């Protein structure tokens, strides 16, 4: 009887916390399909706001995905070999470089953006293209990739595996493909998950770096909240959700698969 009470208490508390987190999301999402939010749901359900957002912001949504994927590609191509090199070389220099790569975690996005603007703002065509935002995203997300790959390297003695493959005649590139990348896969997947999610949702840095022609999803969302009716902004949230949740779930499944192997 007492155990049951404790269990019910815990269940109730958990549900309360969950509700605290989920109810605003539901409210926001339902606002996106309500004809008039101030009159409530009885005013009718409509997809006109969603359609309107799509017409207005399809470009931003598209650009967001382009940047997220480009960020992922750059962090993979640069981050995985970098993590390997840092792990194998070891020593003081590697520690220092690792700290420098990790620095953007501690620095506010606005400060990074400001630094980028000060340094590269003069290069007009770079400043105006989406590559400028890509640069910011890569700086911001790189530590997540490098760190999660290095964590895996630390747990499997990758250096000896590499030496083993070398003794069997494999060239450095072949060892990287056959031994290092497959065994680092759980870390690579976890890192990719972080990078894509962070890039899609990144606001601080992007807001500073964007031009009217290079807006991403979250910047567009801020725009919509600031200048449109609440229903449009909510419909925007709905689209954002529909886009990002399946992605998150898919990558989480990949990551679980990687853990199981």
Partner 1 sequence: MSAIAGHGAAVHIERCGKTFPDGTQALAPASLDIVSGETLVLLGPSGCGKTTMLRIIAGLEQPDAGGRVLFDTNDMTPVPIEQRNVGMVFQSYALFPNMSVSDNIGYGLKIRGIDAKARAARIKEMVALTNIGGLEDRRIDQLSGGQRQRVALARAVAIRPRVLLLDEPLTALDASLRDRLRGELNRLLRSLGITTIYVTHDQAEAMELGDRIVVMRKGAIAQIGTPREIYFTPQSRFVAEFVGAANIVEGPVIGRRLMLTGGSLALQEAADIAAAVAMIRPETIRIVGQGDASLTGIIDSVSFIGDRLRLVVTGAAEKPLVVDAPNTIVAGIGDHVGLSVAPEAIRLLPRED
CB of 82 to partner 1, least distance (A): 21
The candidate with the shortest Cα–Cα distance to 234, out of 82, 7, 34, 9, is 34
User: SS3 letters for 147-205?
Assistant: HHHHHHHHHHCHHHHHHHHHHCCCCHHHHHHHHHHHHHHHHHHHHHHHHHHHHHHCCHH
CB of 166 to partner 1, least distance (A): 5
List 171, 211, 252, 259, residue binding partner 1 (CB under 8 A): 171
List 119, 125, 160, 227, residue binding partner 1 (CB under 8 A): 160
If one asks whether residue 90 binds partner 1 (CB under 8 A), the answer comes out as: no
Give Cα 102 to chain centroid, integer Å: 16
Nearer to partner 1, 125 or 167 (CB): 167
CA distance 175 to 258: 20
Nearer to partner 1, 51 or 174 (CB): 174
List 17, 168, 213, 249, residue binding partner 1 (CB under 8 A): 168
Nearer to partner 1, 86 or 133 (CB): 86
If one asks whether residue 252 binds partner 1 (CB under 8 A), the answer comes out as: no
CA distance 205 to 111: 8
Q: Which of residues 178-207 bind partner 1 (CB under 8 A)?
A: 178-179, 182-183, 185
Binding mask 117-146 for partner 1 (x = CB under 8 A): ------------------------------
CA distance 241 to 24: 13
The candidate with the shortest Cα–Cα distance to 244, out of 223, 218, 209, is 218
If one asks whether residue 164 binds partner 1 (CB under 8 A), the answer comes out as: yes
CB of 171 to partner 1, least distance (A): 6
If one asks whether residue 157 binds partner 1 (CB under 8 A), the answer comes out as: yes
If one asks whether residue 88 binds partner 1 (CB under 8 A), the answer comes out as: no
Give the interface with partner 1 as residue ranges (CB under 8 A).
156-157, 160-161, 163-171, 174, 178-179, 182-183, 185, 261
């Amino acid at each position: 009887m007492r155990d049951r009470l404790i269990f019910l208490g815990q269940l109730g508390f958990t549900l309360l916390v969950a509700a605290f987190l989920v109810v605003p999301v539901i409210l926001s999402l339902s606002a996106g399909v309500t004809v008039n939010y101030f009159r409530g749901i009885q005013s009718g359900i409509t997809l006109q706001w969603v359609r309107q957002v799509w017409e207005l912001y399809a470009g931003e949504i598209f650009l967001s995905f382009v940047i997220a994927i480009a960020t992922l590609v750059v962090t993979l191509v640069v981050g995985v070999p970098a993590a390997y090199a840092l792990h194998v070389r070891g020593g003081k220099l590697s520690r220092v470089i690792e700290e420098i790569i990790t620095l953007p975690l501690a620095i506010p996005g606005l400060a990074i953006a400001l630094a980028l603007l000060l340094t590269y703002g003069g290069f007009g065509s770079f400043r105006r293209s989406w590559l400028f935002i890509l640069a910011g995203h890569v700086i911001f997300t790189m530590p997540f990739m490098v760190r999660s790959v290095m964590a895996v390297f630390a747990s499997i003695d990758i250096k000896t595996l590499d030496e083993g493959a070398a003794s069997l005649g494999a060239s450095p590139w072949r060892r990287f493909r056959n031994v290092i990348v497959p065994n680092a896969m759980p870390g690579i997947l976890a890192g990719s998950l972080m990078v894509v999610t962070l890039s899609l949702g990144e606001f601080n840095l992007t807001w500073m770096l964007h031009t009217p022609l290079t807006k991403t999803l979250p910047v567009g969302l801020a725009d919509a909240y600031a200048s449109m009716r609440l229903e449009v902004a909510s419909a925007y949230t709905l689209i954002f959700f529909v886009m990002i949740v399946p992605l998150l779930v898919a990558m989480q499944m990949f990551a679980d698969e990687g853990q199981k192997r």
